[in-house]
Amino acid sequence: MVSPVLILAIGLGTAFSLGLMKPARTRVLFGITLTALGVMSAIALGWTLALATGAAQTAEIHTAGVAPPFAINLRVGLPEAALLSLITLTGLLAALSMRAALLRLGRGSQAVLLVLVMAVSGLVMTRDLFNLFVFIELIAIATAGLVLLSQDERAIGAGFKYLVVSQIISILLLVGIIFTYHATGSLNIDDITVAPVAFRGASLAMFLLLIALIVELKPFPANGWALDIYTSAHPGFSALFSAATGSAALFVVDKVVAPAGTEWLPLLTGIGLLSFVASNIVALRQENDRRLLGYSSVGQLGLILAVIGQRDVLGDAYLYVAGGLILSHAVAKAGLFWMSSMVRGRKLEDWAALRTRAPMVLAFATFVAMLVGLPPFPGFYAKWDLAQALVAAGRLPVLTLILLGVLIESAYLFRWFGYAIKREAAENGLASNPVDCGITFATVAGGWALGYLWGNGPEQFNLLATLPAITAVVFILLEPLDARIKNGLAIAALLGWFAMVAGDYDPMRLIFAAVMIPGGAVILLASFTEKGRRLGFYPSAMAMYAGLALLLEATTFFEFFAAWEVMTLGSYFLILRGRMSEPHALSYILFSLGGAFAILTGFALASGGVQPHPIDGLQDVAAADLAPWVFVLLAAGFLTKTAAMGLHIWLPGAHAEAETDVSPMVSGILLKAGLFGLFLMLMQLGRQSLYGVDLTVVLAYIGAISAFLGAVLAVFQEDAKRLLAYSSISQMGYALFGVALMNHLGWLLAMMFVINHYVYKSMLFLAVGGVYKRTHTKLMYQMGGLITLMPFSFVSVLVGIIAMSGVPPLSGFGGRWIFYNAIMDADLRLPLILIFMAGPVGFLYLFRLIHTIFLGQLKDPHRKLKEAPVWILVPQMIFVAFLIAFAVLPGMALQKVDGYIGSIFGDQPLVWHGRAITSEFGYWNPVAIMAVIVMVFVAVFAILIAKNHDAQMVKQFNIVFSAERPYRPETTHFAWNFFAPYRKAMGFLETPVVTSFWGGVTGGINGAGEFTRRFYSGNGQTYAAHVLLFVVAVYLIAMGGIA
Amino acid sequence: MKDVDDKFLKNIETEFPLREELRPRRVTTPDGQEIEIEPLKDYFCEAAPKVHPKAYIPIVEDFYNWARANSLWILGFGTGCGAIEMRPLMTPRFDAYRYGIQWRPTPRQANLLMISGYLSVKTLKRAIRAYEQMQGPKYVVGLGSCTINGGMYWDSYNTIKRLDQYLPVDLYIAGCMPRPEALLAGFMELKKLIKAGKGEGANKYAENFATYKANQKSVIKDWDMPDYNW
Amino acid sequence: MTFEWIQIPYALLTLFIILNYGLLMTAVVRKLAARVGGRPGIPVYQNYIDLVKNFALRSKISHGVMYYLGPVFRLTGGIGLILFVPTIYGSSWAQNFAFAGDLVLALYFVFFGTLGMALGAGESGHPHSAIGVSRGLSQVTMAELPLALAVYAIAVQYQTLSITEIVAAQQGGLFNWTLFTNPLAVVAAMFAFVGTMMRSPFDVVLAPQEIPIGPPTEYHSAYLALMQTNRAIFPIAKTIIYMNLFFGGATSWAEFAIKAFLLYMIPAVIGVVHPRFRVEQSIRFFLKWGLPVGVLAILTV
Amino acid sequence: MEMRHLHALLKQRHSLGQLEPKGGKLAFVTVPRENLRGLLTELRDVHGFTHLVLLTAVDWMEDGLFQLTYMLNNRGRDMTLGIRVMLDRQEAQGDSIHDLWPTAATYQRELKEMFGIDFPGSPRIDEEFILEGWTDLPPYRRDFDSLAYSQQTYAERPGRVTHDPREYMKSKLYPDGV
């Protein structure tokens, strides 16, 4: 093993030796610089590997051969080694990224870069306070020098401001060091630990040390100077500044605070949280990509500072959590800065240029997911463990603030990602070249590798090692293939997985699995219509299906949550593919993440920090005091997914604007995940009361209100897919109501809805999508009379709406029959009224759907339309056949589930004999119903044929029109505002109360961001004053508490 | 014909242009194709009316005719001042309902068209349309002298003078206007005709379709509909 | 109960009786209304003549498949409704095919004909048809609500969904009728009854004066004849359900005839003295009067 | 008297013709075409003639003129004033007043169809009013011979005879010729 001191030595040595060489041979010089950085990285990596595998022990290096405090000592443990690798690698890649500037400015700049990397590395290794000071000074000078590399004029100002502030920091630090020496008699960090920190001077010393280091972390609001650097410096350097310097500074804080004692931790927590939340709020309003990244960096550093503040409760997991967050931040932020060097424009929208390069989009997605802490990246694992620890220690407010911050952060990051995918891409907006791309992809690879490493941690569930997740990743690699081949593979993968696992599931899980996995395969048949490569679709879809598959497999809280997040992420990318879906996908991911955080908190509350915690263990807390809170949190999360009224506003847009084959996936399948969660939760927790209110009753009310309002809103839609989306809200309301009844038949009803809603909603979305493919519009009133041109689509819509409205003989009726039997012995009477109202209202929008599209007057441009593409029809016809079969033989799916639910509730209200079903109250004989109806229908039809077989077939204008004739089909088709009389009576229900509420919330946060942003005036003196005021304020608050 | 001034007629514009909404037009389909729309062909059925034979068994036809006679559904369409004379038929004093006579608001369900008085050319077009949209067997009754020979509108520039030139009239009820009693008497006559199997106006119209059309088109200059309004 | 072949002729017989009863009764009601107005009115057999006449029309047109099937759906809905509900309590043969399903089936099958008719009318392409359907559906959403609540109330009251059992529970005297044991539910249900019988003040669907005549505007000949047949059957079928649920059912055909007639007269009488509601007015009416009664009914059971 | 007073008042600003009173409440006056608009506007806005009762035309074929009559009514004082404008029959063009009274547009459409008098700028002026597919002279022009037209256009039932009512009734009532 080479000594790690060589990292410093090589850095410094090369920097000096550069000065001795001929300045003209720039390429050689640059090569030497790179080599030096490469060697430094290699050493760091070697140490990391050795330490991680246990091949080496933590190295203590004493310079000058004497023990501290008489000499400087350096330490390289695993965290140090990992950070060193990060710093040196970032340095190497940054050098590559800045190659043009470095070559232009020659050896001096390269030397400064090397010094910076060396100094940052030294900062990590050293255990001596004064040495620390020296390195910080070195960093300050080197940074100021490198800032000037940029050709941006603002960089000069930024560099100057930076120098001013660093001097303040240095002074504070120096005074702190002097005080410390005075107090402890040593400058070695390890000695401070031993010495008592009892008297006032010591805590003041500690305060000065810490505050200096904290200001180095650019906390909000004392950070105006740093943001100017991010905005104006070369992005290659900004990456280094954010990833390497920031991480090292954090490490130093950690180093210093560890001996100082736990009483300092709340200070760190407070500053960290303030910085995290506030920076993210301000970032919401940023237009400039690099400044936004700057705010995000500040926020992330604040987050990690807050995590350092939690080191007392994190215990063994501390390194895992903090490390995960630091590495996620560093890799992602560095990657984004380097990418920004390729994007020509500085506006966020300019990133749309990335869209032309699929791998770049992948890189962007990777970095965004890493920053937000989504699976499978280290931040995700870290976030989970952090939440567990915080809840176990009773620090819910801290967790809440962190999650709030993450949510805001995801808001602007995903908005930005949405811009990149959806906005107009400028010509030549991307200055891509092999080197920059290489840097970016190296970073991406690093990110994924870290994800794998973190998943492989002790006692962890490695997401990337599961078969479904691997499949999803494989589909990223398969991207160059033709879409049809990929589609075939995807279907095979889904069916294969189902065949593999189906045997192990209980009947209820089996139904969910059948809907989610082979059900997904059936919908994928429709994707055969798409030609070309269809980049991005299959990885996203397979990620979603992987999430669903893992969800069903999950046995522990973590597995469940991880699967949930994977599913959310995959579906977000899927939804974002829609043509107009940018804002809707954003609101989808935000609501989903909000819901997911509720689930996270709920799980953490339930597990009490015990890892891993089996899902079945949830029932152990059912009797505990916190059980109702767990119930509320989990339910909130699941209700967000099922889009219960109040949390529904993401759904209509997301489902309506998605692509033809995506809408049925997200509507027919994805919504069921929420129901699945509710089932799991209720099975374990049972009824819970909060302040005397039975929470299942609340759920029932929410379900009933969703069922009713969803239906009413659907009635007023002009857009066919939006109508179906609102209808989903209503249908999920029914299912929710059934689940919340907490009796056997209620659950059976919900299961029936799981099957039925999947079938008919997928069918209707596909049919409407097929029509959209031909007419290029979703506005129903622009269509009309398509029945003769698209008979198959018509049949599937017809069967779909009969089934959905519950009219016998199709399967929807079964749902209604079970519903009536279920409510017979329920105590809930009032919400029933809403459910009863919802039924006929549903009839309204369904009729409108079929009438305005297929009946009425055919429009001019549609006269020559063809039937929808055959591959869109195939799944529809499968669904039609299934619906009819299921109507006659409901037992084929329900009987087993019925038995299973019976085993949960310990009763068996339904008796199945032959094809007939009897309950305590009534009976249902589907075969007889079908037979009678078919017989009567055929008989009446025969009479009509006998009389009217010779009827003259007429055309669309051959109608009696009060003795006039129709003018144009557009003016004859009664379609727009179809239920105008209904609107007159019930239109008040359309008032967008919920939308206004959420609009107010986002508006408020944005307003806060706008207000806070004015704080940054751009004036160096003001910034210096900020820093001083910040120090004074913190002093007053902190010393008041500590001393 | 002494009044006729041969030099008078000055057809300024003999050919009336087809109305804009009926002219062939080109539209772009959603796929970007250009297609030709011919409204009269694409939106209206072009088939000619058919002659419908009587039921094969005479007694069945007699039974049907009896039913038709006792279930006269009048199209609620008042063409002229005579419409006012129909309203009393619904009142207690006359009550036509007792004879199986009812008013229907849609031609599809009506089988008796009452031309109640003078018929301007503009209304004639609507009357023809309404008649053709009724389903056979169907009957036409002309009310008042205006439908017989023009009556007081004998020299009007805008009213037809002889209804049977344009529609197959089964029965005229004379008078200016005929009173409700006369109308009832006329209905009784019509019933007799129908029961006797003589109410074959629809078939007559189909048989002499060309003649009727020629007559109609000679007065309706802007023929803006298909030849037969199904 | 299970199926035996003899039930088919029995059911056809029931159907025959009800069809004739319906044709005669609607004519009698019209005649009564005429007499009130001082007119002689139509002959009582007029419905038969109209039916024959419409079947005997020679020329017909068709607007398409759904237009053609609309009346078939409509009549199937009416006939099916009769067949799924036991007509005479205690009769060995007038039970029809009630073994196929219970009250829930009857409630939901009502929509079968409505849906088919609406679709058929829709394909005719006539705006009045669509307007009529829009009005009718809007109105029915609220009009049916009190019935749903009342049905739930009495199902809970009798602890069964089987119509036969509900009728059985009402036997043994006038005061065993739901009318007296649960008056609130009956009042609520009667709101729905009046609201869905297509009579004034709730006949804005047809509204002959403004949108002649709503959904059936384009229908004629045998199509119309099928719909007329349904017009005779369907109100009776509905009346049978109400009779069975709220008024003690019928143990003989005579009782059936009297009860059905009296029930049918309720909307007829209300209709002749009330002007028409607009859709939003009737919706508000049901919200204001029907809904509270229904809510009381389910809360007090 | 009131009418004369008004006439005298208006005469100061507009070139009015002689007032032709027809009883106390109704009078007519003729104005040149170019004075029409100003006069109407003043009558409407200043003198309370807010109601356009009718706008009609008379065909003075022999003089080669069309006469337009604008009947205005002052509701408060129960006065009606008829304004006459003479137009050249050959040119047959009037000035649209649809911006003063929107209803005038309908009258002007009727005049266009029945007399062939054009009112440039009037809304929907070229659309058919009550005639459809009319191809002949405007039917209210006096050179249009309604009888001749109807005989040439509409089929007649043979056997129609015209009686002199006086002679006919005499023969009916006193068949013996007493």
Q: Give the span between the Cα atoms of A317 and A312, in whole angstroms.
A: 10
Residue contact B29–A952, C-beta within 8 A: no
Domain boundary assignment for chain C: 7-300
- The pLDDT of residue A193 is 63
Please give the mean pLDDT across all residues of chain A.
88
Contact B135 C34 (CB under 8 A): no
Cα gap C138→C262, rounded to integer Å: 28
Q: Check whether A508 has a pLDDT greater than 60.
A: yes
Q: Average pLDDT, stretch C6-28?
A: 93
Q: What is the pLDDT of residue C80?
A: 93
C213 chain-B contacts, CB cut-off 8 A: 104-106
Closest CA to A755 of A810, A682, A811, A683: A811
- Of A115-124, A202-211, A810-819, A898-907, the range with the lowest mean pLDDT is A202-211
Tell me if D7 is assigned to some domain: yes
The domains found in chain B, sorted by start residue, are 58-219 (3.40.50.12280)
Q: Please give the share of chain A, as a percent, with pLDDT higher than 70.
A: 98
Rounded to a whole number of angstroms, the distance from the CA of C59 to the nearest CA of chain B is 5
Smallest Cα distance from A857 to chain C, Å? 5
Query: Is the CB of residue A916 less than 8 Å from the CB of residue A925?
Result: yes
Picking from A772, A853, A859, A860 by the largest number of B CB atoms within 10 A of its own CB, the best residue to mutate is: A860
Question: Which chain C residues in 220-259 lie under 8 Å from chain B, judged by CB atoms?
Answer: 220-221, 224
The rounded distance, in Å, linking the Cα atoms of A518 and D35 is 86
Residues on chain C touching A962 (C-beta within 8 angstroms): 212
- The pLDDT score that the predictor gives to residue A267 is 86
Provide the pLDDT confidence category of residue A1043 given band limits of 50, 70 and 90.
very low
Q: How close, in Å, is residue D139 to chain B by CA atoms?
A: 7
* pLDDT at residue A357, as a whole number: 85
Mean of pLDDT values over D167-174: 88
Amino acid B188 reads: M
Q: Which residue is listed with tokens 């200055």?
A: A431
Please check whether residue A43 is in contact with residue A6, taking contact to mean a CB–CB distance below 8 angstroms.
yes
Question: DSSP per residue over B155-174, as a string?
Answer: T-SSB-S-GGGTS--SEEE-
Identify the helix (H) or strand (E) that includes residue B114: strand B112-116
What is the spatial distance between Cα A28 and Cα A31, in angstroms, rounded to a whole number? 5
Instruction: Inspect the interface and report whether the beta carbons of B21 and A967 lie closer than 8 Å.
Output: yes
- Taking the CA of residue B162 and the nearest CA in chain C, the distance in Å comes to 27
Chain A within 8 Å of C181 (Cβ-Cβ)?
no
**Rounded Cα distance, A630 and A685, in Å:** 9
Q: Does D163 touch chain B (CB under 8 A)?
A: no
Whether D178 is in a domain gets the answer no
Helix/strand/coil for B35: strand
Average pLDDT over residues D60-89: 94
Is the Cβ pair A860, B106 closer than 8 Å?
A: no
Give me the CATH number covering residue D85.
3.30.460.80
- Predicted confidence at residue C59, as pLDDT, reads 93
C 124-143 near A (Cβ less than 8 A):
124-127, 130-131, 133-135, 137-142
Task: Please determine, for residue D79, whether its predicted confidence score (pLDDT) is greater than 80.
Answer: yes
Question: C56 is written with which tokens?
Answer: 């005997």
CA B29 to chain centre: 39
Q: Residues A599, A603, A606, A611: what is their CA dihedral angle, to the nearest 10 degrees?
A: 180
- The pLDDT, as a whole number, for residue A165 is 85
CB proximity D133 to B under 8 Å: yes
Asked whether the predicted pLDDT for residue D58 surpasses 90, the reply is yes
Q: Is A848 near chain B, with CB under 8 Å? A: no
Across the range A183-201, mean pLDDT stands at 66
Count Cα atoms within 13 angstroms, Cβ side, for C101. 30
DSSP A608-675: TT-SS-BGGGGGGGTTSTTHHHHHHHHHHHHHHHHT-TTS-THHHHHHHHS-TTHHHIIIIIIHHHHH
Q: Which of B22, B31, B40, B120 to mutate to test the interface with A (most CBs of A within 10 A)?
A: B31
Supply A4's token pair. 């790690």
Domain holding D13, by residue range, is 2-173
Nearest beta carbon to residue B35 from set A775, A863, A952: A863
Among chain D residues, CA nearest to B151: D160
D134-160 per-position pLDDT tens digit: 888 899 999 888 888 888 889 888 888
Residue A1005 has pLDDT above 80, yes or no: yes
Residue of B nearest to D148 (CA): B4
Chain A residues with beta carbon closer than 8 angstroms to that of B28 = 861
Using the beta-carbon criterion (under 8 Å), do A984 and C279 form an inter-chain contact?
yes
Quote the pLDDT of residue B10: 56
- The reported pLDDT for the residue numbered C136 is 87
Q: How many CA atoms lie within 13 A of D70 on its CB side?
A: 32
CB C199 within 8 A of CB C270: yes
pLDDT tens for each residue of A416-425: 999 998 888 8
Strand-pair partners of C61: A952
In a domain, D132, yes or no: yes
Q: Are residues C213 and B105, on separate chains, in Cβ contact within 8 Å?
A: yes
CB atoms near residue D168 (< 10 Å) = 12
Residue C33, chain B, CB below 8 Å: the answer is: no
- Confirm or reject contact between D126 and chain B (CB < 8 A): no
- Do the Cβ atoms of A921 and C155 come within 8 Å? yes
d(CA A870, CA A526): 8
- Determine the distance in angstroms separating the CA of C223 from the nearest CA of chain A, rounded to an integer: 7
User: How many domains does the structure of chain D reveal?
Assistant: 1
Summarize pLDDT for C237-259 with one digit per residue, the tens.
Answer: 999 999 999 999 899 999 999 99
Which SS3 state, helix, strand or coil, does residue A1009 take? helix
Given a cut of 90, whether residue D175 has pLDDT beyond it is no
CA end-to-end distance (rounded Å), chain A: 46
Least Cα distance to B169 among B192, B140, B198 occurs for B140
Of C101, C124, C279, the CB nearest to A924: C101
**Nearest CB to C220; choose among B63, B97, B135:** B135
ipTM score assigned to the predicted complex: 0.91
CB-based contact B64 C52, cutoff 8 Å:
yes
What distance in Å separates residue C21's CA from the closest CA in chain A? 20
Residue A197, classed as helix, strand or coil, is coil
- Residue B1 pLDDT > 50: no
Q: Which residues from B are below 8 Å from C208, CB to CB? A: 105
Binding partners of D (≥3 Cβ pairs within 8 A): B
Q: How many residues does chain B have?
A: 230
Q: Is the CB of B217 inside 8 Å of chain D's CB atoms?
A: no
Kindly state whether residue D13 falls inside one of the protein's structural domains: yes
Q: Could you tell me which residue, D55 or C136, shows the higher pLDDT?
A: D55
Residues of C in Cβ contact (< 8 Å) with A823: 152
- Chain D meets chain B (3+ C-beta pairs below 8 A): yes
The whole-angstrom separation of Cα B97 and Cα B92 is 10
Question: Per mean pLDDT, which range of A720-734, C10-24, D156-170 is the poorest?
Answer: D156-170
Give the sign of the dihedral formed by CA A483, CA A485, CA A488, CA A492. negative
Which one of B97, B104, B200, B207 would you mutate to disrupt binding with C, by most C Cβ within 10 Å of its Cβ? B97
Residues B138, C221: Cα–Cα separation, whole Å:
12
- Per CB-CB distance under 8 Å, the chain B contacts of C53 are 64, 67-68, 70-71, 111
Backbone angles phi, psi at D27, to 5 degrees: -150, 160
Structure tokens of A192?
Answer: 């401070």
Say if D132 is an interface residue toward chain B (CB within 8 Å): yes
SS3 label, residue A361: helix
Strand order in the sheet with D51-60: D19-21, D26-31, D79-88, D65-74, D51-60
Cβ distance B158 to D131 less than 8 Å, yes or no, reads yes
Give the list of residues 6+ apart from residue D105 with CB closer than 8 angstroms, or none.
Answer: D96, D98, D122, D123, D124, D125
> Which chain B residues touch A775 with a CB distance below 8 Å?
30
SS3 assignment, position D93: strand
Nearest to C119 by CA among C61, C76, C63, C66: C66
Of B37, B127, B230, the CB nearest to A954: B230
Mapping DSSP to helix (H, G, I), strand (E, B) and coil, where does residue A910 land? coil
With contact defined as 3+ CB pairs under 8 Å, the chains touching B are A, C, D
Report CB contact under 8 Å: C100, A925: yes
Instruction: With cut-offs at 50, 70 and 90, classify the pLDDT of residue A1041.
Output: low
Residue B36, strand partner residues: B26
